Amino acid sequence: MRPARALIDLEALRHNYRLAREISGAKALAVIKADAYGHGATRCAQALAAEADGFAVACIEEALELRYAGIRQPILLLEGFFEESELSLIDQHQLWCVVRDAWQVEAIERARLGRPLRVWLKVDSGMHRVGLHPAEYRDAHARLLASGKVDRVVLMSHFSRADEPDSPRSAEQLALFNEARGDLQAEVSLRNSPAILGWPGLFKDQQASDWVRPGIMLYGATPFEQDQEQAARLRPVMTLESKIISVRELPAGEPVGYGARFVAERPTRVGVVAMGYADGYPRHAETGTPVMVDGHASRLIGRVSMDMLTVDLTDLPGAGLGSRVELWGRNVSASAVAYGCGSIPYQLFCNVKRVPRLYSGA
Ligand SMILES: *Cc1c(COP(=O)(O)O)cnc(C)c1O
């Protein structure tokens, strides 16, 4: 069998969830959209079910998958409904629903529901992607409550630059949120992972009833490009690994792989690893990207191909056929691999496919 696989440590997932709660002092919706950032949404939800305050996904398709797997906790649809007709399923499965545009308010006013709906009303505080205009916010809030279709409204917004420690944008967005909110008394949800980890001072006045929405930090990857004190406490959940399936000795001057992107400067021992961009390893990773071979640091050399990549074994005489290679995980930081090739750990995780996922710590 091909030795490529993703090991998923569910104990680490729970550790990171508890950390999100501890650092924020708030309730936490575990964000498990996009198949839990490639980690397997159902397995991750089951692992957190006993302690999570709730889950968040992108759309109803993702939520129903969790309901059908027996997840009974609250599930928030982060983009609400895309079509009005989804409201009956939202009602039937008791899903929580973001309202981010005026037409969604109108759809709720028209809806025939068996039970009152829990709404998270989103205001655009400067991300300028979705969310109600600040000037429309309180009116939408009043209309939802007056509709008789809604039992409670959580006030919500989203940060655009919380991963930049020196940006004034998060404070500006918070001020705009507070202005839009005015004197509305309700639960509040503003923070994604970088805001939880990086901006404790901004939220000194929060209430214990507030909600945070940790995503990437649950999976143990830092959203910051630079070292960050709280992010250092995270534990990586996914270890992407494979094995050396072939070894060759090249004299100086010989190239390796497509496009001869690496040329041996000295006699070089090359290990071929069963892992490629079809598994989700980034094709743009450069020579020098860190890997670990049998517990020793080494580096990627040459271009990543679809099913294989090559690593430098020259200084690792003990390594050879069958040696275990970690592409990222406990020892090799997924964030370092990502930032090294112009990507982000979010995208690396979401791209993982073809490799079987093996779970521990259930
Ligand atoms: C994806 C998402 C999150 C989680 O973001 P992270 O940076 O992964 O923590 C939080 N809130 C909303 C609205 C999202 O779409």
**295-348 residue pLDDT tens:** 999 999 999 999 999 999 999 999 999 999 999 999 999 999 999 999 999 999
* Predicted pLDDT of residue 362: 86
33 is catalytic: yes
* Predicted pLDDT of residue 359: 98
| 205 confidence band (pLDDT: 50, 70, 90) | confident
pTM value surpassing 0.85:
yes
Centroid of ligand 1 to alpha carbon of 5 (angstroms): 26
Mean pLDDT of 28-56: 98
Spatial distance between the Cα atoms of 21 and 81, rounded to a whole number of angstroms = 28
| Per annotation, catalytic residue among 17, 27, 33, 281 | 33
3-class state of residue 331 by DSSP:
coil
* Predicted pLDDT of residue 74: 98
User: CA torsion angle for 10, 15, 19, 22 (degrees, to 10)?
Assistant: 120
| Per annotation, catalytic residue among 122, 149, 204, 258 | 258
pLDDT of 207 strictly over 90: no
258 is catalytic: yes
Question: Of the residues 19, 78, 188, which should be mutated to test ligand 1's pocket, given the most ligand atoms within 8 Å of the CB?
Answer: 78
Atom of ligand 1 nearest to the CA of 162: 7
Task: Assign 3-state DSSP to the chain and report helix, strand, coil percentages, each to 5.
Answer: 35, 25, 45
Sequence-ordered list of residues with C-beta below 8 angstroms from that of 201, at least 6 positions apart, any chain: none
Q: What is the pLDDT of residues 10-23, one digit of tens each?
A: 999 999 999 999 99
* Predicted pLDDT of residue 209: 86
The rounded percent of the chain whose pLDDT value lies above 70 is 100
Q: What is the pLDDT of residues 231-285, one digit of tens each?
A: 999 999 999 999 999 999 999 999 999 999 999 999 999 999 999 999 999 999 9
pLDDT of 178 strictly over 90: yes
Within its chain, how far is the Cα of 283 from the centroid? 20
* Predicted pLDDT of residue 28: 98
* Predicted pLDDT of residue 237: 98
Mean pLDDT of 86-108: 98
DSSP string, 166-192: T-SHHHHHHHHHHHHHTT--S-EEEE-
The alpha helices in the chain, defined as continuous H runs, are 10-24, 33-38, 41-48, 60-68, 87-92, 102-110, 134-146, 169-181, 193-198, 334-340, 345-351
Q: Are 268 and 262 in contact (CB under 8 A)?
A: no
| 201 confidence band (pLDDT: 50, 70, 90) | confident
Mean pLDDT of the chain: 97
* Predicted pLDDT of residue 296: 98
Phi/psi of residue 307, nearest 5 degrees: -115, -10
The rounded percent of the chain whose pLDDT value lies above 90 is 97
Domains of the chain, earliest start first: 10-225 (3.20.20.10), 238-360 (2.40.37.10)
| 184 confidence band (pLDDT: 50, 70, 90) | very high
Question: Of the residues 31, 76, 335, which should be mutated to test ligand 1's pocket, given the most ligand atoms within 8 Å of the CB?
Answer: 31
Mean pLDDT of 108-112: 97
Centroid of ligand 1 to alpha carbon of 88 (angstroms): 26
Atom of ligand 1 nearest to the CA of 158: 13
| 291 confidence band (pLDDT: 50, 70, 90) | very high
Atom of ligand 1 nearest to the CA of 122: 13
* Predicted pLDDT of residue 283: 98
